[in-house]
Structure 1
Amino acid sequence: MEGIKLNQIGVSFKGSGSYVPDQILTNQKISQKVDTSDEWIKSRTGIAERRISSSGDNVTEMGYKAAKTAISMANWDIETIDLIILATSTPHDLFGSAPSIQAKLGANNAVAFDLTAACSGFLFALITASQFLKGGSFKRALVIGADQLSSFVDWNDRRSCILFGDGAGALAIEAISEFDNFIGFDMQTDGERGSFLNLPSKNKMDSIIDNVNFLSGGFSPIQMNGQEVYKFAVREVPLILDKLFRKTNISSDEIDWLVLHQANQRILDSVGERLKISRKKILSNLENYGNTSAATIPLMMDEAIRNNKIKQNDIIATSGFGAGLSWGAALIKWG
């Protein structure tokens, strides 16, 4: 299948990059902290180990390193980048970390901002950037997903501490007039179910002066209803992907790869089964990294591209899903 021919602007995918911290936390090491085991974790999640940030491995640094490798693959002049979107829920600076990445890269002509949508963040950011390019506002964009969830995990909660890790990934995308390799997308949000997965603020009442109080800032650890999140994912992700297949007149048989948010191997397998997509086409690396939130999709794509699994003109179905609750899907053609 060739890219869709257009009389308008389309999107081409030019490069990928990723970065993970060096520090490895295995299931065996977690079992020394909480009552669990390597077998129990693997059988329920598929995760064997995850990367944990230490000093220097904040979201800005991880995002910068992932972006740099994506720019290198794209062979871009830094000065030609117009837009940088950082998908993260754990910024190094609550006012935004994308501008710091822009400065570190020396991308002086780029506008940069953060986008927060948790595990759907990268997909939402990729869709947002593609619309800017198709609208003619910008020519070249970097889309980065980076999260440092280890800072917000309750390491005494064995239900959640086994799941999360840190990392970053990035894609370099470009406006082009000959074809459009961003084939289609869909996005959904259901705030009624938002309580299933949260990183809520935790405020302490204090006083400025007599009779004038304020709430000091802070956050509680990640709170998750794992059973409800699982049921949500295995139901909604196949539905939104199937809807997108029908909207774009592409069947699941035509897909070369399925790249889902790397949350749980059972979710990946269930979605593949419901869509009748072969396991050979389902890309997974969560065994090595766990759930890195906004980083999972670009981290998986970069690994597959550099291992020559994803090749030029391959059609990729991808879906991000998680807190909000939010979820989305996109069909792209690599190249």
Structure 2
Amino acid sequence: MYGRRTGTPAVAPVLTGLAGWLPSAVVTNDDLAARFATTDAWIRSRTGIARRHVAKPGEATSDLAVEAGRRALVSAGTGSADTVIVATTTPDRSCPATAPVVAGRLGLVEAAAFDVGAVCTGFVYGLATAAGLIAAGVAERVLLIGADTYSTIVDPQDRANAVIFGDGAGAVVLRAGDPGEPGAVGHFDLGSDGTQEELIMVAAGGSRQPFTATDTSRQDLHFSMRGKEVYREAVTHLTASARNTLRHAGLKADEIDHFVPHQANLRILRSVSDELGLPPERLRSNIESVGNTGAASIPLALADAAARRIVQPGERVLLSAFGGGLTWGSCLVDWPELAPTPHPYEGGEEPTP
């Protein structure tokens, strides 16, 4: 079943390519400890993060998205896609969208291209959008990229958020296929609660509060998050969405081989995994080495797990995300046989298993 209100379509999105990309600059906990008079132990204990990659000056979201997208197309054994979707909170510009720029740089100049803005849930929303386009016969092959450069919107003087967020991009290629074949993506659960938009926000820069050089405060110009409240909401909605998805699929939690949530905070991930009754070894996370990369976090975690050969063909993978809006969403993937996936770190080096 796709979503909560529709039946299983005759055509489903099938995962055929996967890749990630991270900028080369790295900020360690020791770097931040010097800036904020804190310690590596304090940061690890509250976030589970040891380091994060950040874009260099002049390096934009599209630059990361293009490289992740190029590598995903190579993984899929194709150079083409008729649709390009970029899920991001940090587009290159407020106008135009980033996806057409990415498509053009990849040589996909006639592809349909648009952005999805669901903050950290953007990749799951993008998967659902791709599923709808494929089921309707509008698209045959979709390149979906989650890409964010949070370093461009997080105040470097804000300890609470500067220790959490990193930059990166992850991408998948989806083709039209059969709902029962390996790689099929489905059983979506999506939701939102706009009455709590203030919990995760960049206040200024939109039509509600346009940026002005004289009146916009530093705080309103940067990303803000009310951490304690977000923690509670994230655990609640991630757990409920994952359970809804399992119910749609007629599955129990112990039938899931891998749980890959949005890499928000290791304490959140463990709490949700515990609520679902999943053993710790089924939780997949790479937050220690990349931090919270927004819409890029799920595909980056998938690329990391695939490169380490942790996920095997035929295994069931549950994806769940929560982000600003508030938004949340989950879906299932029957893991396919993919071409060897290079590790998302710059240079593509394989990690030690």
Which of the numbers 180, 187, 190 marks the counterpart of 2:190? Answer: 187
**What TM-score, normalized to structure 1?**
0.91
**For the aligned residues, what is the CA RMSD?**
1.9
User: Structure 1 residue 178: deviation in Å?
Assistant: 6.7
Aligned residue-pair number: 320
User: Structure 1 residue 183: deviation in Å?
Assistant: 3.0
Look up the equivalent residue of 1:272 and give its one-letter code: S
User: Structure 1 residue 248: deviation in Å?
Assistant: 1.3
- Greater fraction of residues in strand: 1
User: Structure 1 residue 205: deviation in Å?
Assistant: 5.6
User: Stretches of 4+ moved more than 6 A in 1?
Assistant: none
- Partner-residue secondary structure (3-state), 1:160: helix
Partner of 1:325: 326
Relative to structure 2, which stretch is displaced further, 60-69 or 108-117?
Answer: 108-117
Tell me, yes or no, if structure 1 residue 21 matches structure 2 residue 9. no
User: Which sections of structure 1, spanning at least 5 residues, go unmatched?
Assistant: 1-5, 208-213
Tell me, yes or no, if structure 1 residue 77 matches structure 2 residue 60. no
Partner of 1:249: 250
Look up the equivalent residue of 1:194 and give its one-letter code: E
User: Structure 1 residue 243: deviation in Å?
Assistant: 1.5
User: Which sections of structure 2, spanning at least 5 residues, go unmatched?
Assistant: 1-7, 337-353
Partner of 1:210: none
Contact 2:36 2:159 in 1 (8 A): yes
Counterparts of 1:298-309 in structure 2, within 5 Å, are: 298-309=299-310
Relative to structure 2, which stretch is displaced further, 116-125 or 196-205?
Answer: 196-205
Contact 2:18 2:72 in 1 (8 A): yes
Look up the equivalent residue of 1:73 and give its one-letter code: S
Counterparts of 1:1-335 in structure 2, within 5 Å, are: 8-78=10-80, 81-95=81-95, 96-177=97-178, 179=180, 181-201=184-204, 203=210, 220-335=221-336
Contact 1:119 1:294 in 2 (8 A): yes
Contact 1:283 1:300 in 2 (8 A): yes
Q: Deviations over 1:245-284 (max 9, x none)?
A: 1121011111111000001001111111111111111011
- Partner-residue secondary structure (3-state), 1:167: strand
Look up the equivalent residue of 2:52 and give its one-letter code: R
- Partner-residue secondary structure (3-state), 2:295: helix
1:317 and 1:69 map into 2 onto residues whose CA distance is 23
- Partner-residue secondary structure (3-state), 2:171: strand
1:230 and 1:265 map into 2 onto residues whose CA distance is 11
Contact 1:316 1:332 in 2 (8 A): yes
- Identity value in percent: 34
1:25 and 1:274 map into 2 onto residues whose CA distance is 32
- Partner-residue secondary structure (3-state), 1:324: coil
User: Structure 1 residue 35: deviation in Å?
Assistant: 2.7
Look up the equivalent residue of 2:248 and give its one-letter code: K
Relative to structure 2, which stretch is displaced further, 56-65 or 285-294?
Answer: 56-65
User: Structure 1 residue 57: deviation in Å?
Assistant: 2.6
2:52 and 2:9 map into 1 onto residues whose CA distance is 45
User: Structure 1 residue 108: deviation in Å?
Assistant: 3.1
